[in-house]
Amino acid sequence: MFYEKEPDYTLLRFGDVIKGFFNFIPEINDPIIPETLYESKLQMRITMPKFSVIVTPCCNIEEKTISLAPLLDIPVKYFSSPAIRKDFTLLNTEIDKQTIIPPHVWEGLPEEKKEENKKEGRLFTYLNLFFYAENELFKRYQVKKTVKKDEIEYETQYKMIDFKTIYQLNCEYIIRKDIGDKILKSKCLELSENSRIDLRKKIAHYFGRIPKEEEIY
């Protein structure tokens, strides 16, 4: 079970799907420093995603601020593996590489490469992404994918968030003990406990990775 069957609409939780929140994206061509003060271009792009996801830990949803990530359609490039197309949530946990590699690609790999992949065991893939299961609230969308020169069309309701798109939003009604009713009415879906644990583990892995150049320390 990916979503909670009986959501608690009296509070907001980490991983909740909500609606009605803007997304603000600042864009610049150069950092605004003295050397580029009169040359830099700054603009603010404001979007209104149909749904967003709360990525603030439950115990930190307070002090009139919250962190969100827009809920996105899945790009066509992730539809290569038949196993993944059936259940994108497989990518939320550690998985073996053979599952995500299309069968025709796997068959064409040299045996030594196959063995290398098998020896790696299970690991997180698509590290910055977390996938949300299909739900009747989500609008179906079409995906066209070419596989071995054959064009295949899929219809899906799977969604995803990208940890690189997380942003902060301030709202005076987001306080620990008495979140405003209007804010609570924005809640659409609540993750099951297991799904919330998966999200917590993957986002922690994403932000907790040690770069290779720092491993020596």
Residue 20's φ and ψ, nearest 5 degrees, are 90, 15
The count of structural domains within the chain is: 1
Percent of the chain with pLDDT over 70: 97
Of 50-54, 106-110, 130-134, the range with the lowest mean pLDDT is 106-110
Average pLDDT over residues 45-68: 92
Give the residue with greater pLDDT, 44 vs 37.
Answer: 44
Burial environment of residue 136 by CB neighbours within 10 A (0 to 12, 13 to 18, 19 or more): exposed
Helix (H) or strand (E) holding 78: none
Q: Which whole-number Å values give the CA distances from 134 to 2, 86, 90, 99, 139, in the listed order? A: 9, 11, 13, 20, 10
pLDDT at 133 over 70: yes
pLDDT at 55 over 90: yes
> What single-letter DSSP state applies at residue 94?
-
Q: Does residue 5 belong to any structural domain of this protein?
A: no
- Asked whether the whole model's pTM tops 0.85, one would answer yes
Q: Does residue 203 belong to any structural domain of this protein?
A: yes
pLDDT at 4 over 90: yes
Q: Which two tokens mark 54? A: 């709360």
Query: What is residue 157's predicted lDDT score, i.e. its pLDDT?
Result: 97
Count, residues in the chain: 217
Per-residue pLDDT band at 150 (split at 50, 70, 90): low
Q: Does residue 8 belong to any structural domain of this protein?
A: no
Q: Does residue 127 belong to any structural domain of this protein?
A: yes
Q: Does residue 158 belong to any structural domain of this protein?
A: yes
Q: Does residue 117 belong to any structural domain of this protein?
A: yes
Q: Does residue 217 belong to any structural domain of this protein?
A: no
Residue range of the domain that includes 125 = 17-209
Q: Does residue 44 belong to any structural domain of this protein?
A: yes
Helix (H) or strand (E) holding 195: helix 193-208
What is the C-alpha to C-alpha distance for residues 153 and 178, in angstroms, rounded to an integer? 47
Burial environment of residue 193 by CB neighbours within 10 A (0 to 12, 13 to 18, 19 or more): exposed
Query: What is residue 40's predicted lDDT score, i.e. its pLDDT?
Result: 82
